[in-house]
Structure 1
Amino acid sequence: MRTFNTTNIPMTDRIKKLKEELYRKMPEIEVDRAVLITESYQQTEQLPTVKRRALAFEHILNNIPITIRDNELIVGSSTKAPRSCQVFPEFSYEWLESELDTIEFREADPFHISEENKAVLRKIFPYWKNKTNSDLALSYMAPEAAAAIEHNIFTPGNYFYNGIGHVTVDYGKVMRIGYKGIIAEVQEELNKCNVYDADYAKRHEFLESIIISCNAVINYARRYANLAYEMAQKCTNPTRKQELLVIANNCANVPENPARNFYEACQTFWFIQMLLQIESSGHSISAGRFDQYLYPYYKNSIDNGSLTREFAQEILDCIWVKFNDLNKARDEASSYGFAGYSLFQNLTAGGQNAEGIDATNDLSFLCIQASMHTQLPAPSFSVRIWNGTPNEFLIKCAELTRTGVGLPAYYNDEVIIPALMSRGVTLADAREYGIIGCVEPQKPFKTDGWHDAAFFNMCRPLELVFSNGVDKGAQISIKTGNVEDMTTFEEFYNAYKAQETYMIGLMVNAINAIDTAHSERVPLPFLSCMVEDCVKEGKTVQEGGAHYNFTGPQGFGIANMADGLWAVKTLVFDEKKVTMAELKDTLIHNYGQGLSPKAAKNATQEVVINLAKAGKSVNESQVADICRMFLTGEQDPTKRKRYEEILDMINELPKYGNDIEEIDMLARDVANIYAKELEKHKNPRGGMFQAGLYPVSANVPLGEQTGATPDGRLANTPIADGVGPRQGADTKGPTAAANSVAKLEHGRASNGTLYNQKFHPSALSGNAGLQNFASYIRAFFDQKGMHMQFNVVSKETLLDAQKHPENYKSLVVRVAGYSALFTSLSKALQDDIISRTEQAFNA
């Protein structure tokens, strides 16, 4: 029987100081990278794109300022100031150019930028006009797909404006052979190239670009070695002087050469993690199975006496702090969907190995302790649970959950492994999956998954059913008939399926256009050298060089759709208490509650257009009256009373999340409609589309762009998050809610599902609370649920934090597939978290 050392190690003062320094100032936008890549691109316009990318990476690493912060044991920073970010104009820049003077004052994720740096960016941006990746992507996109984006049916903003990210590279290989070893492997492939080979030109340029990139990284690490040595010579504190000398020694050896011990392996990891995010602006660069590839170095260093468990913990704590030092700026609209300065750097522990044997080890427990110590949003710490998971590991995870930081997220091997195998992943590879970004499983360093490729709002096709494909006066979708003429629920439901199928096709077009643009305009040779089979195939990741290729857009709004369809079926067709014309009118008028100014303007525009089509004109005064009606909910008293009666009837109906078979099966069908349709499509890299069912936190901003829905949800309010029930609709306790969610076919959504729950802290108090919680997770997973994550915080605490943010600067909560500082979130997102049902095991 295996035993684990679960003794808690106290957090050191060093970690407290590093944390304090992180949040001392607002994050800043720095411009060094933008200047350097522009200089390089101006000098290499005659060269192939992949070579230009490598030379630009080299120019950046040779010249970007480097810094070693006070108290650091692990070094490497992309910016001079903590939590700041660089700019990536080759992907997109126009959004930043338009927001330079406002980005510091926006509600979600503000950044300071000096007037001097604004001037620098305004000087270099003109070079990139019509040369960005987003420019090329838009040119490849079908006009109707671009129109669907404009009308907020779906949004592919992640990769449209940024790098792809969402990958785990082979950290372990670099630790084993160093970049010197990778260069040797690439050189061997180069030696096999013959000038008469059909693919000689592209293969040769790609392989040479890898060598340029790896040598640039080696030189970059040497810069840190020299800086540490120089700082040591000037340091008067003997303890810090010795630390700097060790840092210098580490950076002189790795990542050029194999890591000689645990400390060097950790330094290797961090250089890779940080440099991937200098090469590209993609987020969700995830650490993968951190406790597996680092464990041999940990065990060997412990066994030979060169490492204590206490120092190993301090090194890990330093890495956990460093995760939070990385940052990126998004456009204002995207910042609401990803609020909290998150980069979604997911780190996985636990689970089983390729042979199906439990892989939990002592380092798995130290990872939990690092999250307990730092209490920071990053990394997004995930744990794999299966029938062979040691109970002490699950209990230790529960202790971390009890702290209230929203970590860890729990994943079910018994569902995810078969799900990946159904997509063509081998059994051995599937057993070694790690979590990417929010909740997406993939085989590390073999997969280009294009997770988070787009957000698909399932409620919008339902709106198009009621409007017969019209939105804001424009025919943006197919005509499925007037809802008033539909005589059966099946006819209505089939119209929804038709609208959604059409829009999924447009989403696929948009995503594939962006995918194609990335392969042509921003290939990533450094990333590609650490992903199988890129070197062997002579292709970058963006060109399809990875062993496994997928595209994973996520749909959300399952609970709204299930409850809404049930309301239509029950009230309109079964009981005939409401006519379809009444329901349509009720939704247009938002149940008599009034619309937001933007929604009122759009609704008024539609009314005016429809009147014009009917040959009726309206003057400015009448238009103003119509708009005021939408704004205030002013209607004829009789009509308003009827709207409110209909809302009351809908609210009294049973809801998804209460273990009611008929409604839960409807939710399952809604999810499968989306997933099955996506499976029919292919991407330009030769892979298939696979569904995810989660919104990150886009359910809030995209809800603001969505009208009233027949589940009783008011216009411009959040859509249900993930696969869970609507906020407050799960009234029969956590087990009933989990039973409903478990009935979804989670394995079909192989790009990941997300289930949020919120517990009152008393539910996990004492040893009994921890045991009950662990049993609850196992019960949900026994029913084939895929994922669970938790907020353990009282509603009163959240409300007080909203009112007095100065008293809760370190309050971390689970938002969606990530955690964030509560006070850094927009009010709308804070309200969404507050509104989630507060569960207890005695409910």
Structure 2
Amino acid sequence: MKKYGDLEIIKSPRIPKLIEHLYAKLPEIEADRAVILTKSYQETEGDPIITRRAKAFKAICEELPITIRPDELIVGSNSKAPRGCQVFPEYSYEWLEQEFDTVAARSADPFYISEETKNQLHEAYLYWKGKTTSDLATSYMEQETLTAMEHYIFTPGNYFYNGIGHLTVQYDKVLKIGYSGIHKEAKEALSKLKISDGDYGKRARFLEAVMMSCQAAINYANRYAKLALSEASTCQDNVRKKELLQIAQNCANVPANGATSFWEACQSFWFVQMLLQVESSGHSISPGRFDQYMYPYYLDDIEKGKITREFAQELIDCIWVKLNDLNKVRDAASAEGFAGYSLFQNLITGGQDEEGNDVTNELSFMCIEASMHVMLPAPSLSVRVWNGTPDEFLIKAATLTRTGIGLPAYYNDEVIIPALVNRGVSLKDARTYDIIGCVEPQKAGKTDGWHDAAFFNMLRPLEMVFSNGYENGVKVGLQTGDVAGMKTFEEFYAAYKKQMEYFIELMVNADNAIDLAHAKRCPLPFQSSMVEDCIGRGISLQEGGAVYNFTGPQGFGIANMTDSLWAVKTLVFEEKKLTLLEYKKALEDNFGHKMPIEKAKLITTRVAEELAKAGHQVNEAQIADIYNMVSMENELEAGQKKYNQLLEWIEELPKYGNDIEEVDLLARDVAYTYTKPLENYKNPRGGQYQAGLYPVSANVPLGAQTGATPDGRLANTPIADGVGPASGRDVKGPTAAANSVAKLDHFIASNGTLFNQKFHPSALSGMRGLQNFTALIRGFFDEKGMHMQFNVVSKETLLDAQAHPQNYKNLVVRVAGYSALFTTLSRSLQDDIINRTTQGF
């Protein structure tokens, strides 16, 4: 392979200007899409739903305001305001209307919304009562399922309230033949149907919807071609005038036709990426193997002398900036779980081809260089690693990690490829996998994976064991017996497994209900046009048109569960230092920190009201601080002393994350309580359920809804993130922690696992630091770990950024399966990142 390790291209002065414009003000909610969509739906009441969706998409493409931002080389925006967003009432809307007056002031991901926009949305929303996917999904769910959701055992909110997303489409196909080619393919498929076929009407309407959607995308690009020409005609800057003329020519050719240059390929890619998120609010639309499908266009231009490496790098940098322009508003609770304005657009480099050859190329390095140039959260850059990965590529990736941006994430081919093959993916397809969203593997352009289908809190079933299935007088779980009567650890653990299996089945009921609702009310013809084999089968992606269909909800809490079970096993059943009934009382008393939550909230509200009366402005972060102080100052001192001995016993016990065989094997079995039962279920699209083990950042807000646990974790505090150890409990260094995590069965968790580590910057200093770091990755992957990602930032820096956010506007950190600007995160999520163990070599 050619040597690219010394490839380093100076950043264009254009890039800082683009970034400055992008972050000039608070993101804004806009009403245009909702208004256009609603009008179209009102006009198409009698049409099949797939036709209505296509006509609505066509109307949006024709009427959505368009703009070319200053200095852009790649154009296309779904909002007038930088980082603005449209809304999608066909999925849900009540939550936003309820938050009109608070969305701009909330702690996580605030958005400006004008009074005019509020009025426009209110008028549009009148049409949607009872007509959303969330309305229909609720009607399909069992009462037990709704009760479990109300008590935060699991939450399927991603697709309950939003579009599905979480896929990579056939970017390569659009680059090669354009939407004219896909239109032709659908037209030919339609011509082969027989009107006497039993499903002719359904398939014909779908193919017509695909054709209409492809033409809509072409028309949308043509609007930009005309706008660029118009702006060029009045432009006084000759350099910019030339750029605008070329932009106009690009938009006139792509994505209608196949790309004929690297610049056209970049523009075509962007229209695909942006329009997918105009059709649906589903996030995690992941560009996938960008360095592979874009490389032929780059190489051809370079070899013919049509482009310089410097300009090609500038185009890639421009795409990286544009990926941060896309945005999405979530309800306040979801915003806490996805804080950082992230759309989880995962772009992966390196890896293998269908025959198992390494395909790292010059663009692989340039993608890493682009992230160094823009230093922004998107894209969620990832790299594939295997035994054939060039050392110079891994060192280049580690150099980016060393900047502290939290990129890239590292993925192990040696685990992911066989894990996918085990799920029925062909070996050739598995070898060319990409990553979706946070950490989820799939074959691009052939898969509807329904990744992130739900968050399952593995600690809540443990609470149901202690409470015998009740919470606040409501029957939530199974009645597995009074813990006072449990005589062995095996009996206690068996009760936990029964609660798990019960709630997993309810989660499946919720996901399947939502799945059915999307197929019935929101099929996506434009998205489906770029996934095999929807056109061949004549059905949408939402109805099972993909080659591979999965549902992938994720469980989290393995570290806390392992340490909790080990504590119960040791202290109750082996050393007999206390009974299960006494342990139950300690948990109810929150180990002495017993002030009732509602009482603490009441006192906090009164304090905040008094401050407001005195003329102080009190934001959500300050209210959280007041609540924490109120809770701490009202600890029951006698109760705390009573439980100090128990807490000391717990502290002295071995913990997961320190390479202790017996504890780590228990963690492996704990993971099985989630991963094994789940794979017994099927979804409405005929696909299998597959487990993921990662929380995104939901471990913080869902931890706030979880009581105290036997590992000494206090009520309402964060749960351990991902498959890593609980914060502060991995005390034997990064290698020991990695060894523990590697002992989990990552092959069965084929929807992805997430392993965070945090290093002090000094650990990666110099070439020796980079070599030590890459050796850690290769060692973990040799032991069959699936994924690693890193923060390289000191605790002192994070604390100072929390105290003085105005000085750290550009500080990007790794949150969960994504990076975000640290100062945009909620206070609780910032605290969680600060409290993660800081490692060194």
Please tell me the TM-score bracket, short chain as reference.
over 0.9
Aligned residue for 1:69, secondary structure, equals coil
Shift of 1:148: 0.4
Aligned to 2:233: 233
Matches within 5 A, 1:459-470: 459-470=459-470
Q: Which amino acid aligns with 2:133?
A: N
Aligned to 1:734: 734
Matches within 5 A, 1:668-679: 668-679=668-679
Aligned to 2:292: 292
C-alpha contact 2:544 2:686 (8 A) present in aligned 1:
yes
Aligned to 1:524: 524
Aligned residue for 1:704, secondary structure, equals helix
Aligned to 1:545: 545
Shift of 1:124: 1.3
Matches within 5 A, 1:759-838: 759-838=759-838
Shift of 1:472: 2.0
Matches within 5 A, 1:422-441: 422-441=422-441
* Distance change >3 Å, CA 293–CA 120, structure 1 → 2: same
Matches within 5 A, 1:116-155: 116-155=116-155
Shift of 1:477: 1.3
Q: Which amino acid aligns with 1:712?
A: G
Shift of 1:596: 5.9
Shift of 1:599: 8.7
C-alpha contact 2:5 2:393 (8 A) present in aligned 1:
no
Shift of 1:579: 1.1
Aligned to 2:474: 474
Q: In the aligned structure 1, how far is the partner of 2:197 from the partner of 2:293?
A: 37
Aligned to 2:495: 495
Q: Which amino acid aligns with 1:793?
A: V
Matches within 5 A, 1:59-208: 59-208=59-208
Q: Within the alignment, does 1:583 sit opposite 2:583 as a pair?
A: yes
Shift of 1:3: 2.7
Shift of 1:122: 1.1
Aligned to 1:605: none
Shift of 1:2: 3.6
C-alpha contact 1:595 1:632 (8 A) present in aligned 2:
no
Aligned-residue sequence identity (percent) comes to 68
Q: Which amino acid aligns with 1:466?
A: F
Shift of 1:601: 8.9
Q: Which amino acid aligns with 1:239?
A: V
In structure 1, stretches of 5+ residues that fail to align are 603-627
Aligned to 1:311: 311
C-alpha contact 1:177 1:258 (8 A) present in aligned 2:
yes
Matches within 5 A, 1:376-775: 376-595=376-595, 597-598=597-598, 637=638, 639-775=639-775
**Any idea what the Cα deviations from partners look like across 1:630-650, whole Å, max 9, x if unmatched?**
99766593x543322111211
Q: Which amino acid aligns with 1:168?
A: T
Aligned to 1:617: none
Q: In the aligned structure 2, how far is the partner of 1:199 from the partner of 1:654?
A: 61
Aligned residue for 1:232, secondary structure, equals helix
Q: In the aligned structure 2, how far is the partner of 1:634 from the partner of 1:582?
A: 19
Shift of 1:471: 1.3
Shift of 1:147: 0.8
Q: In the aligned structure 2, how far is the partner of 1:596 from the partner of 1:501?
A: 31
Q: In the aligned structure 1, how far is the partner of 2:630 from the partner of 2:833?
A: 31
Aligned to 1:612: none
Q: In the aligned structure 2, how far is the partner of 1:130 from the partner of 1:803?
A: 45
Q: Within the alignment, does 1:334 sit opposite 2:334 as a pair?
A: yes
Shift of 1:681: 0.4
Aligned residue for 1:242, secondary structure, equals helix
Q: In the aligned structure 1, how far is the partner of 2:184 from the partner of 2:12?
A: 41
Q: In the aligned structure 2, how far is the partner of 1:147 from the partner of 1:629?
A: 31
C-alpha contact 1:328 1:341 (8 A) present in aligned 2:
yes
Aligned to 2:367: 367
Aligned to 2:57: 57
* Distance change >3 Å, CA 410–CA 596, structure 1 → 2: farther
Q: In the aligned structure 1, how far is the partner of 2:637 from the partner of 2:473?
A: 25
Q: In the aligned structure 1, how far is the partner of 2:599 from the partner of 2:197?
A: 59
Q: In the aligned structure 2, how far is the partner of 1:96 from the partner of 1:532?
A: 35
C-alpha contact 2:5 2:396 (8 A) present in aligned 1:
no
Shift of 1:6: 3.4
Shift of 1:724: 0.1
Aligned residue for 1:444, secondary structure, equals coil
C-alpha contact 1:589 1:630 (8 A) present in aligned 2:
no
Q: In the aligned structure 2, how far is the partner of 1:390 from the partner of 1:504?
A: 42
C-alpha contact 2:40 2:56 (8 A) present in aligned 1:
yes
Q: Which amino acid aligns with 2:89?
A: P
Shift of 1:598: 3.9
Shift of 1:654: 1.2
Aligned residue for 1:418, secondary structure, equals helix
Aligned to 1:357: 357
Q: Within the alignment, does 1:14 sit opposite 2:14 as a pair?
A: yes
**Any idea what the Cα deviations from partners look like across 1:557-591, whole Å, max 9, x if unmatched?**
00000000000000000000111111000000000
* Distance change >3 Å, CA 598–CA 354, structure 1 → 2: farther
* Distance change >3 Å, CA 708–CA 227, structure 1 → 2: same
* Distance change >3 Å, CA 150–CA 599, structure 1 → 2: farther
What is the TM-score with the length of structure 1 in the denominator? 0.96
Q: In the aligned structure 1, how far is the partner of 2:28 from the partner of 2:118?
A: 12
**Any idea what the Cα deviations from partners look like across 1:711-749, whole Å, max 9, x if unmatched?**
110000000000000001000100110000000001110
**Any idea what the Cα deviations from partners look like across 1:48-79, whole Å, max 9, x if unmatched?**
00000000000000001000001100000000
C-alpha contact 1:5 1:362 (8 A) present in aligned 2:
no
Shift of 1:672: 1.2
What is the TM-score with the length of structure 2 in the denominator? 0.96
* Distance change >3 Å, CA 264–CA 468, structure 1 → 2: same
C-alpha contact 2:445 2:532 (8 A) present in aligned 1:
yes
Aligned residue for 2:61, secondary structure, equals helix
**Any idea what the Cα deviations from partners look like across 1:241-286, whole Å, max 9, x if unmatched?**
0000000000000000110011101100000000000000000000
C-alpha contact 1:595 1:715 (8 A) present in aligned 2:
no
How many residues get paired? 815
Q: In the aligned structure 2, how far is the partner of 1:473 from the partner of 1:561?
A: 25
Q: In the aligned structure 1, how far is the partner of 2:12 from the partner of 2:209?
A: 42
C-alpha contact 2:7 2:365 (8 A) present in aligned 1:
no
C-alpha contact 1:6 1:365 (8 A) present in aligned 2:
no
RMSD over aligned CA atoms reads: 1.4
Q: Which amino acid aligns with 1:728?
A: G
Q: Which amino acid aligns with 1:251?
A: C
* Distance change >3 Å, CA 629–CA 90, structure 1 → 2: closer
In structure 2, stretches of 5+ residues that fail to align are 603-628
Q: In the aligned structure 2, how far is the partner of 1:71 from the partner of 1:465?
A: 60
Q: In the aligned structure 1, how far is the partner of 2:598 from the partner of 2:719?
A: 18
Q: In the aligned structure 2, how far is the partner of 1:788 from the partner of 1:298?
A: 30
Q: Which amino acid aligns with 2:496?
A: Y
Q: In the aligned structure 2, how far is the partner of 1:158 from the partner of 1:462?
A: 24
Q: In the aligned structure 2, how far is the partner of 1:484 from the partner of 1:728?
A: 32
C-alpha contact 1:595 1:716 (8 A) present in aligned 2:
no
Q: Which amino acid aligns with 1:705?
A: Q
C-alpha contact 1:596 1:716 (8 A) present in aligned 2:
no
Q: Which amino acid aligns with 1:752?
A: G
Matches within 5 A, 1:256-275: 256-275=256-275
Shift of 1:690: 0.3
* Distance change >3 Å, CA 702–CA 386, structure 1 → 2: same
Q: In the aligned structure 2, how far is the partner of 1:469 from the partner of 1:650?
A: 25
Q: Which amino acid aligns with 2:249?
A: N
Aligned residue for 2:47, secondary structure, equals coil
